[in-house]
Structure formats: structure tokens, C-alpha cells
Amino acid sequence: MSEATSTGYPEENYLTQGSTLKSWLLTTDHKRIGVLYLLTISVFFLLGGLFAAGIRLELATPQGDLVQPETYNRMFTMHGILMIFFFLIPSIPATLGNFLIPLQIGAKDVAFPRLNLASWYIFVIGGCFTLWALVSGGVDTGWTFYTPFSTLFSNSHVLPAALGVFITGFSSILTGLNFIVTIHRMRAPGLTWFKLPLFIWSHYATSLIQVLGTPVVAITIVLVAFERVFHLGIFDPSVGGDPVLFQHLFWFYSHPAVYIMILPGMGVISEVVATFSRKRIFGYKFMAFAVLAIAVLGFFVWGHHMFVSTQSVYAGTVFSVLTMLVAIPSAVKVFNWTATMYNGAVSWDTPMLYAIGFIGLFTIGGLTGVMLGTMGIDIHVHDTYFVVAHFHYVMVGGAIMAFLAGIHYWWPKIAGKTYPVFWSKLAALIVFIGFNLTFFPQFLLGYMGMPRRYHAYPEEFQVLNVLSSAGATVLGVGYLLPVIYLTYSFFFGARCAQNPWGAVGLEWETTSPPPTLNFDEIPTVTGEVYDYSPKKEAQVV
Amino acid sequence: MSVHVSPTSTYVKVFLTLILLTATTVWVAFYDFGILNNVIALGIAFAKATVVVLFFMHVKWSSPLIKLIAGAGVVWLVILILFTLGDYLTRTIHYTAPPI
Amino acid sequence: MSSSHAHAPGLAHHFDSYEQQRQSASLGMWLFVAQEIMFFGGLFTAYLIYRLMNPVVFAVASSELEIKWGALNTGVLILSSLTMALAVRMAQLGKRKAIVGFLCLTLLLGLTFVGVKAIEYTNKWHHHLVPGEHFSFHLSPTEIGALQSHGIDVSDPAQAYYVQSRAEMFFSLYFAMTGLHALHMLIGIGLILYILRPAWKGRFNLDNHNFVEGFGLYWHFVDIVWIFLFPLLYLLGRHLPHA
């Protein structure tokens, strides 16, 4: 990362427009709202991480000697709820997406700036309800709120937690709505659809899922709440209700929700790989259509969560086949990132390290997903640590690696500051090692038959569990490092150049950090996207 | 693109159509046509909804994008209903069947 | 660029033209309608599945609903959609007083709908048809006959429980669906009250009446939900106990 020459740094930028708390809490600037989200989700990530630490600590020994079984149930439930609804789903879209979408399309703001701020407040209110559930004793249903346990039997604080998830869902819907309108209506002159960066394409696909999927889980949670409070009995088998109907409605959203978490990550990786390979992304149009294909296909596969239920075996077969189809566009992404790097001028800056880590880990996560989509294997490893390892490879190895890649890539844009090269590369390495040490043993444990969500286990599983717990410690250090050096960088770091990576894209054509209205003059786009032609290269160097 | 302003007479005609369809659907409901009762009731409901969407909500004069979004909402609901029904209609064991 | 229309009334700073602002508002509102379809869609799916599982009991239970109130409310709501459409038309033409007039009519019709709904809910309460402790589904001889003709014998306790529990489920879904719909009506009524003042002050003109247009879409959508609720809840199987 090159440091600023005295001319590059803007004395007037979005960060200098008021430093009072009020100027932040009442802002409608998409960049400031992005920063607000970044701070909020970091808090939720820390909380969710503490519960993960508790889980791994308990599982270091086979006996349930640290906490009561009930407490353990509440720990993994709160870990799931916090990480999924309050960290992963908003992670990239609400922070980086908010910050970068208007910049990348040459707009002054998102289409509905006040709605954007309202979304953040809705998110915070939803978070408060979840925290209320947390401090009053937690929830023990698992993040999936399966009925009839959640409606008839659980003595934990299901209502505030469900309300929190319900409310935060609307934050997600409104953010998606805002992005779709922004991408349709706010593009700079000349910026046609096939000149859009893949980051924009992936957010467009994500937003579609948010708008069309989230309302279904919202109404389902309302029904759960009604059943718990008024005993309506809609999912209660003793009065003719079907708990599996709950699972249908729940997974109709919650499977596509997985793509809400991973698609924006794919967008980040596309930007990073192109920039640090100094090449136009290989198969650009395929990449654009692949994210749309994943978003749409994702709505046809939810039944693969229900192979071990009363779901009809015929429906299961159809869901199984459709699940495998998702592997096709996903493989297109992986092949094309690899092909972009091939013969490129690859440089090993921090964001690129995370991106390469992402590609490998996502491939493992994705391929084990195909295994689990196969009914026979799924029935064998259903509800074991194999499933846990699989989705952590996608969610943590995929989504969080991409989030960190994006934060490191656009940090100069967000903060206008440099961060230490050595420490950031070290952190990337630690995260990669820690992650694999934590979750690879879980594949083996699951395949050997260790079930998930238990606080104790037979002694022969201890070695792998200790490895996993040790890995979690390493991973924790890996996550803590960026928090420290990025916070330091924000306040005390050296100012950086406007475009430290020599990247192309509209977001790099304005100052770093950008002014409140993003551009002094709205640019007119004439060139191609990812235009890393040799001529351009010469200009950058 | 300028805004299309429909004449009042169009809206009144739409209103009369809707009232007429409502009367028909109520009238039909009291006669036994077997499975056709359901088909007619839902068919008329879809017809009424289509008229509202096209004229009251101006989709007839809207851009293709708006038509696409309106259509997407319906198609996604159809996905939810069809695939869920697909499970229930092909089940071999019914746990909530009447005790007969 | 931005300074040239910085003082254009009703044009937000980040839009270049009224046209861009209008198209953004319209697209945004349609996306909101799409998410509303899915929001109600979850409930409709549950209703369809349970109706499919228990067709006879649902038919008998649905004939307890009073068709006159349902039909009246359908008419009221369709009429309110007409007045709402005319309010939007007046906004498109920039006629200030006519906008307010039609909005008031829409408001009145909306209140009528909610009033009728309240009467229906009260009747259900008196007939012990509200799910919960006091629920008791009283069967008339014709209804017992209708059940019998479909092989359900209510003199058998197990089958009597089956009828009671499934009828209760029908009313659970009835209250959930019409309740959620009525909530949307109340929100709509609140929004009309909210925009009457700016409408009277002439805030909605030829350049900018996006709020009225967007609200119109919402109101028509709520109408459409009722267009489906009415046959699904009140009409299907109406013939059955009388056959």
C-alpha cells in the first residue's frame, strides 16, 4: 500500500462533516450508515464469538463438566441467532454494500437515504430485543425455532428472541429494496448493466432474496409467537397442526438466506481477484449470470433440510436433484476466479490472501454441500458435526473471509488510512490456519457419528475435539488482530493515496475518503468494466 | 416517460366489473358443482385481482420492469405453494388424518 | 449540476430530476408490494395445506361465517379502491381539493370496513368461535348430517375431537389472516390521516405526488388480499352443509 502524497488527501470528506454523536445518529449519508452498521455488527460478532468460545471450552472434555446441559443449549442457540441474523446477514451488504454501491455506480447516495437510516434503527431495535432475550436467560430452541418445542415445551425466552429476529428481518428487507432501486435508477450516465462491477451484480441478486424470502420467515415467526401466546395450535400436532409445515415455511427463507450471506462475499472476491491479478475478470457475463442463477435456484432447494422428517420421499428426491444444480453456477465462480489469476500479474497483498483463502475454503464447503444434498449421505450424517463443519466452511471460511478481504481492500477508501502490512498478512495467515484447525476435525467427528448440539460426548472423540477447541483459540486471535490494528489505523494511521492498489472502478475515481456527495462531478462512463489493459497499467505505475 | 392518466369512466367501469364478479362468485357458491366450486371461486378471485392490478394499479401502462416485479411476487408465491403442496400430495403416511 | 435545482421544491438532493425520483418511488413501492405478497403468502400456504388436509371440517366451519358481512365488506373495499384510484388521478392532474375529497371518502370506507369487521369479531366471540379456552364449535343437525355423509361420525368421541380441533384450527387461521389484513387496513387509515394535511396544503402537485401514488398501490394491494380472503374463507364449501 503506497502512502499519500501531500496532494491526495481531502481535508473535507464525509468523516469531517460533524463529529458529534448527533451528526452520526441522524445521518442519511450511506457511507456513515455503513460505518454505523460496521460498529454494530462488530459488537454482535463479539457476543456471538463469546458463545462460540463457551461451546468450544465445554467440548474440550468429553464430560459435561463446565455448564449445565440447559445452559449449553442456550449457548449454541444464542451463538446461532447472533451470528446469523445479526452478523452474517447484514455483514457485507449493510456495511460494504451500503458504503460502496452508490460509489461504484456513480451516485450521490442510495435511492432512499432516510429509509436506509431507518433500516439501521430497525436493526438496532431488533438487536435490543435479542439482547433482552439474552440477559433474561437466553433461548434454548436452536436458531431454527423448530416447533412444537419452541411453541409448546421450551421454558426459555422464545418470545423476545423471535420478536428480535422478526424486527431485524424488516431491516434486511428494506435494505434489499433500497439497493435494487438504487442499482436500477441511480447509475451514472453510460453505466450500462454489463459495465457494472460484479460486486453490484452480487448485491442485486442478494437483494432479490432479501425482498422475496425474508417476509415468509417473518410471518412464520408471527405464527410461532401467536401459538406460544394464544395457543392457536397452527403447528401443534395434537390439534392437527403439522410441525413440518413450519419447517417448509422456515427453510423457504432460511435456505436462500445462506445465499444472502455468501453472494455478497462472492462479489467482494471478484473485485479483489481482478484488482490483484491486474486482469479483467474471466468470463464476466457468466459471473454475472451465475450469481443470479444461484439466487433463483436457491429458492428451489429448501427441502434438503428436511430429508429426515415426514417430508415425502418424492419431494425429497426433487429437492435433492435441484440442490445439486446449485453446484453448477458455484463452480463457474470458482473456475473463473482461478482463470482470472492464471497468467495474471498476481500480487500478494492482504486482501488477496483472504480472497485465496476464500476460494479454497468455499470449494470445500460447497462440495460437502453436494454430499449433504444427496439423500443417502444426508440421512447418515444428518444432525452430526459433518453438517456443522460444512456450513461453517461456507459461512466462516466463505462469508467471513470475504468480509475481511473486503474490509482490508476498501479500508483505504473507508478510513483514508493505511494499516500495517506485516500484521495484516499475519492475521490472514492465523485466521486461515485457525479456521481449518477448528473445523476440519469436525468433518471427521461428524462422519464418525458425533451428533451436534450435545454438551457431552464419548471419550474416543476427545482428540479431535481438543484440536477443534485449540483451533478456535487461534481463530479468535486471528479475528482480534484486525480489530486492534484497524482501530489504531482509523485514529492514528498514516494517510494513504487516493487509489493505493491501482485499482479501476468508479469508487477509486473519487477521493479517499470520499466527500459527502461522493463525487465533485457525476462521472460519465465510457470504458469497460475491469479495464486492466496494459495501457491503463502504465498510467497506474 | 410521461404519466398515463386514465379517464374517470375507465375506473368506474372497472369498479362495476368488480362488483359484478363479486355477485357472481357469491351466487355460484350456494350451488354444488363439485370440485368446480373451488375452481370458479379462485378463478374469479384471480380475475378480480388482475383487473385491480392492471387498471387501479396502472400496471397496464407501467414499464416492463414494474410488470416484472409484480409478476415476480406472484411467481415466488407460486414456488412456495407448489413445492410445499408437492410434499403433502405425495406423502405416503399422513400423521394428521382423521381418525376414521 | 446539483446547485441548478437545489431549490426545486420536493426534489431530493440526490436525484437529478423529478422523473428519476418518480420512477425510483414507483419501483420501491412495487418491491414493497412484492414483499407483502410473500408476507401474506406464508399464511395463505398454511391455510391451503390445512384446508387440503381437512376439507370437510373446514367447509363446515367456514359456513359459520356470515356471508352478508363478508360480501358487504368486499363491496365496501372495492368502492374504496375506486375512490383511492380517483384520488391518485386527481393527484396526477394536480387538483388539490379533489385529492382531499377522495382521500376522505376512502378514509370513510376504510373505517366502515373495520367497523363491519369488529361486528363480525364480536359475533364470533359470542358464538364461542374465538380459539382458546372458550372455543366450542356447536354443530347444527344439518352440519352433523353433512359430516356424516362424508364418513365423519361425531357420536364417536375421537371423531368429535377431530371435528372440534380442526374447526378451531380453521378459526385460528381465520383470525390470523383477517387480523393481519385488518392491521394493514388500520395502517392504511393512519397513513391517510397522515397525508391529509400535506394534501390540503398543496404539497402534492404535478411534479411530485409520489406519496399519493405509492399509498394508492398499498391500498389496492390490501384490497386484493381481501379479494382472495373472501372466497377462501367465506365461500369455499358453502354449499356443502346444504347439499
The mean pLDDT value for A427-439 works out to: 98
Give residues with Cβ within 8 angstroms of B7, minimum separation 6.
none
What is the CA angle A493-A498-A500, rounded to 5? 75
Give the pLDDT confidence of A278-300 residue by residue, as tens digits.
Answer: 999 999 999 999 999 999 999 99
* Sign of the Cα pseudo-torsion (C95, C100, C103, C104, in order): negative
B19 domain residue, yes or no: yes
Query: What is the average pLDDT value for chain A, to the nearest integer?
Result: 94
Contact A248 B84 (CB under 8 A): yes
Residue C5's pLDDT band (cuts 50, 70, 90): very low
The per-residue pLDDT for range A251-270, each reduced to its tens digit, is: 999 999 999 999 999 999 99
Return the number of other C-beta atoms located less than 10 Å from residue A61's C-beta.
16
Query: Which residues in chain C are contacts of A214 at CB distance < 8 A?
Result: 35, 38
Residue C243 has pLDDT above 80, yes or no: no
* pLDDT tens digit sequence for C174-191: 999 999 999 999 999 999
A193: DSSP letter: G
Q: Does B96 touch chain A (CB under 8 A)?
A: yes
Q: In this structure, what C-alpha cell is assigned to residue A237?
A: 400436532
What values do phi and psi take at A17, rounded to 5? -80, 70
Of A538, A407, A358, nearest to A37 by C-alpha is: A407
C238–B contact, CB cutoff 8 A: yes
Q: How confident is the model at residue C238 (pLDDT cuts 50, 70, 90)?
A: confident
User: Of chain C residues 34-93, which have a CB less than 8 A from chain B?
Assistant: 34-38, 41-42, 44-45, 48-49, 52-54, 67, 71, 74-75, 78-79, 81-82, 84-86, 89, 92-93
C1: in domain: no
Closest C-chain CA to B97: C53
Residue of chain A nearest B88, judged by CA positions: A312
CA distance A364 to A343: 24
Q: Which residue of C has its CA nearest to A176?
A: C31
List all residues of chain B from 53 to 82 with a beta carbon under 8 Å from chain A: 65, 72-73, 76, 79-80
Contacts of A197 (CB under 8 A, 6+ apart): A104, A267, A270, A271, A505, A529, A530
**Could you tell me the sign of the dihedral formed by the alpha carbons of A275, A106, A176, A157, in that order?**
positive
Greatest Cα pair distance in chain C: 82
The answer to the question of residue B12 being in a domain is: yes
CA A186 to chain centre: 25
Q: Do C14 and A233 touch (CB under 8 A)?
A: no
pLDDT tens by residue, A34-79:
999 999 999 999 999 999 999 999 999 999 899 999 999 999 999 9
Task: Determine whether the interchain pair C235/B8 forms a contact, defined as Cβ–Cβ distance below 8 Å.
Answer: no
C-alpha to C-alpha distance for A66 and C16, rounded to whole angstroms = 61
Question: How many domains is chain C built from?
Answer: 1
Residue span of the structural domain in which B55 resides: 8-89
Amino acid at C223: D
Residue given cell 366450486 in the structure block: B37
Q: How far apart are CA A224 and CA A159, in angstroms?
A: 9
- SS3 assignment, position C150: coil
Give the chain B residue nearest C57 (alpha carbons).
B98
Residue B88 contacts C, CB cutoff 8 Å: yes
Residue C37 belongs to some domain of the structure: yes
> Considering only alpha carbons, which residue of chain B is nearest residue C79?
B15
Calculate how close chain C gets to B89, using CA atoms only, in Å. 9
State phi, psi for A417 to the nearest 5 degrees. -125, 160
Strand partners, A451: A384
How does DSSP classify residue C139?
P
Distance of residue C2 Cα from the nearest chain A Cα, in angstroms: 9
The domain spanning residue C66 has which CATH number?
Answer: 1.20.120.80
For residue C43, what are the CA distances in angstroms to A78, A201, C29?
A: 27, 32, 22
| Integer angstrom CA distances of residue C213 from A180, C12, C28, C88 | 20, 17, 12, 6
CB-based contact (8 Å) between B20 and chain C? no
In a domain, B16, yes or no: yes
For residue C21, is it within any domain? yes
Contact (CB<8Å) C231/B44 = yes
Task: Judge whether B79 lies within some domain.
Answer: yes
| C224 neighbors B53 (Cβ within 8 angstroms) | yes
Flag if B76 and A299 touch (Cβ within 8 Å). Answer: yes
Grid cell at residue A255: 435456505
- Regions of chain B short of the pLDDT cut 70: 1-2, 94-100
| Contact indicator for A439, A396 with CB cutoff of 8 Å | yes
Supply the range of the domain harboring residue C87.
17-242
Domains of chain A: 21-540 (1.20.210.10)
Residue B74 CA to residue B63 CA, distance in Å, equals: 17
Contacts (Cβ under 8 Å, ≥6 apart) of A51: A75, A76, A78, A79, A82
A240 vs C contacts (CB less than 8 Å): 50, 53-54, 162, 165-166, 169
Q: CB under 8 Å to A271, separation ≥6 — which residues?
A: A197, A198, A199, A406, A409, A503, A505
Question: What values do phi and psi take at A495, rounded to 5?
Answer: -70, 145
Are the C-beta atoms of A455 and A72 separated by less than 8 Å?
A: yes
Residue A540 pLDDT level (bands cut at 50, 70, 90): very low
CB contact under 8 A, A249 and C31: no
Would you say residue C36 lies in a domain? yes
Q: What is the pLDDT of residue C133?
A: 84
Q: What percent of chain A shows pLDDT beyond 70?
A: 97
Question: What is the Cα–Cα distance from A452 to A429, expressed in whole angstroms?
Answer: 28
Beta strands (DSSP E) in C131-239 are none
Residue range A178-204: mean pLDDT, rounded: 97
- Overall average pLDDT of the A490-502 stretch: 93
Q: Which residues of A touch C46 (CB under 8 A)?
A: 223, 234, 245, 249
Question: Is B81 in contact with C48 (Cβ distance < 8 A)?
Answer: yes
| Domain count of the fold of chain B | 1
* B99 part of a folded domain: no
Residue C1: CA count within 13 A, CB half-sphere:
12
Nearest CA-CA partner of A77 in A148, A128, A130: A130
C-beta of residue C1 within 8 angstroms of C-beta of residue C15: no
